[in-house]
Structure 1
């Protein structure tokens, strides 16, 4: 160490040594800054910036070496060999260029440390080549230990600086640059201390330069480094200015208004849109205004409709919301303008305010709200229309069917019987069409719901088939109903909707088949996703249809025999509704057919087995008591035709019938006398059937009277009507037009069931 200190202090002019150190620090720092800039570039631009960095660093190292050599006291004037001197520069430049490429090839401290070591290794070669380029009066001898120590120390400092101190912040860049310069200085002066000069004739080096010329060369090199440094600074400034300009352009191009307030909530900058969103404030905006002052301007202009009469409270609320720095609010301005305001904080304590004009969105929202209200009103009107249409059509249709059924029980001639059958057939067609239209409306509105209950599958299937067995027999068709024993059981589901689908399929099969057979079969279906299924199949030998017809058969209002020459009637809704019902039940409805080869419709639904309910035994005493006296029936209906139809039907049984015209009269009659069963219309003047039924139930409960069966015998046949009837306390809901046999059956069975339940 003493030898190194002695070399620096005694053998070197301190002024040249200081100059060498400053040039080294400056040059290496500039080169490192250029290398850091190269990291942010790609392709040829990165390569050019890396070469520039290596060139500047080479100049710095070269200048450092020869400035220090100019201050070296060799005991006699020295000269510099031109070619060896030039070669030493290219040695430095080449090694540093290689180090730059290594550092840029792959990120990470290891590659940077290797690059630093490679650079110092090249600088070491440059140093000894540069020393050999000096013409000195004597022979040079080297101390191997100091040479090795200098190279190792320089490489170590360079590797640590590049690997550990590297960073893009100004501080880290400065520290790393200082570390790189120190590695060069340590290498130079340690290597110089290893040199021993023995007096001897100076060897001839050929073309040489004097120290004065060398000073000029070094000055040119330092000037070059200064120019490069100035260029880098200018490039950085222009880059920042360009980036700032681009950011400013981007902010001005925003569709939202943006303003930046500093930590004191003073306005610093804003974009053009901010003034457009706040046109009343645009002419008042200036740097240094506080947000509170802007609020006051808006209050003075009367912009905030919600602040009238409560200005101080409004300001306090707005400032408190602004301080939360996460609130987004919608503010209404004069002229029915709406602005959405968002405030966000910055790390320095400033606030960025973003304003969005949402007037159009609010107008659209209001329009959508009005459209929604109109649609809901139209939907309610449609529902009311459907309910009224159902009621108004079912009431006269009930008279037609009821009178026809009553007339059927009288003595008729063959001609009269034929005309009566035509009436019944036409009435049935109207009833089916009405039910299809109402079902379609309920499906479209999403109001059609399934009623899950346990039922006897075999019985439901046989009843569906029996409805059309006589019609098939009249056409000379063979009719089969086949149920596999393993599925002839009780299941859970909606028996009414299942029978609706099956009767529709059987009805179509009978309708479109002139000879052959119609077969309804039920068997286990495939197991789908671990769930058992039921497979219903309705097969016939009818007219069939082609693949084109099959593709549109389940569409609404589509039929296989469409056109003006239609042979078969129908609305074209049955299959569409049946498929939708199948999907609601978790299954599917499909078909197979060919023209003239018959058809097969396959319904697949999940199989959910259920336990058969236990049957209650009816005592003989109860039955005898019920049969021992004449049954008393109360009928409440405001329509005289309906009352006459019921009267004509009940004439077939030994029944004492009491008739009233409204719910109030029905309530009075029920309170005044005991009835075995009550037939109640739902829609009546004075008091409707639902209210009357509720009052009857309250009267029974208050006096502890037995429950009288109530049948809602009404033209209000929608699902909501059935639900309302059950909620009011009705036992059954029989929609008009009803079947006479079904009404007589209920009158016969309901009192018996009520008496049996009371006895139990």
Structure 2
């Protein structure tokens, strides 16, 4: 065989082997990507430019388990949504199916990254975020916020019950005050009428004693009545933390490198009427704080670029002398006594643990603001 023919065969063999190796590496990379996606706690889906499924993780299939049988590279998310509406998977679409579907498809067509909520027929709530990819497709994120919704509802219910109890107390005090003052006024009037009659010295002394006691009782009842009226007026005023002209909403800076944790804080605090500015590392937190206007700082500890402890130290070092210092609450998965001591030494006012509970968060915020 001529040498040139041997070289050609060898080149083809080497080329085929290189191609096979490249394909094998691509398969391994794809397997690793799918394995990594399956480990995420959020549902992830990738769509092509025509809205067809390219890739989805295990959590996404679990969230939409009623529709998982429809997922394939030949199917479009729009068709799955339409089938879900027909099945009754989306309670908010019942009775307005075409309107709901048109609004949902418009969001899918223009994925701006704006978050919106979706209620499922089994009672779960999802937070949805969708963005355009470089090749014209869509990447979608699904986060189950059912527990957060439950906590927010429980908090709202607790606040409502506290308000009702407060109103009942002030109404009771006011009613009792008025009920006491009515007969007391009668007693005072009779005493004054008695004073104008002819009395013996002993009788006038008794009347003076009765009048002194009645005046003391009148002062006590008057104070009780004033308290009841003032408390009732306070109860009728709008709650201070909610957009009131004299009490603007709390402005909070939240630093956490995990986007899901940032969304949790935004949802919790947003439901309470606070304005939240989120950043993803300590350096951004310091820069944002320098711009001013924040009533409170929530700081994660382990973050890239600059960690939370260094960010707290930088904020404390930059605070103007003589002015009240910024309240800083550390929110971290590290909650040992040593971790709490270290964050306090850096300048933190409170240290609460993850996963974040609404009750603990609001208790800590109330504590640092009160102090």
TM-score by length of 1: 0.26
Higher Cα radius of gyration:
1
TM-score by length of 2: 0.50
